[in-house]
Structure 1
Amino acid sequence: MKIIIINGPNLNLLGVREKSVYGNKSFEDYLKELKLKHSDLDLEYYQSNVEGELINKLHEVGFSYDGIILNAGAYTHTSVAISDAVAAIKTPVVEVHISNIHAREEYRHLSLITANCAGMITGFGLKGYEMALYYLKDC
């Protein structure tokens, strides 16, 4: 089973930025743990701070992979283009957010992406990515 995790803007700074919100661990360290624990999966990772690059990656993998875990970061709340890209592909997408977007600033409460995803996992820290993996494995 081939699954990709796609992270959006500023998620390259996990472990460094706002540790009280995002924790102390880099995503690369967390990914190593996920790959060890889920060695039965072909698990890939992609991160970009650029909206168009995220869209290009969704288009690239959205017809051939078994699952996509997407944390679009701040683009979650602003990008009709990413939402349209998710709607256009066939691969199931699970939206993940490390923090609870509903417990943060009001402008973060709305996700433009969720309606085109299988579901959203929010507020469980990095563990949310693994929760999404379990869902995709059961699809």
Structure 2
Amino acid sequence: MTSAHTPVFRISVDDHVMIAHSLPGDFFGPAQQLHGATLAISATFEREGLDEHGVVIDIGMATSLLSEVLDDLRYRNLDEHPDFTHKISTTEVVCQHVAMQMAQALPDQHGLRALEIAADEHPRARASVRVELGH
């Protein structure tokens, strides 16, 4: 249980991914057509207090984890990606995919309480998802 005086720390790392996809249905207007997108992705790691090294998570490890997860999506048509079969690859769904992959890739005993993945579609639009982690 969190005490009212327990500080909660967050650290974020950034990367980007270039994808192609289409979004079926009239709801998506011109985005129904196959098009490319560059998503600026940030991963934010959160924990109560700091670890024995005085950090939330090692920045190098966090950067590597994000890069490795995004490598599977880079320069791919998500319409043909097996993880997006029967899914509409909206920015929100891409965020969820990245978050779940990141959560699985974390080392045991990570001590984190949450992970947030955000994706900027362009400077005026972004989506994010927060995953509570059992520690």
TM-score by length of 2: 0.25
- Bigger share in strand: 2
Bigger CA radius of gyration:
2
- Bigger share in helix: 1
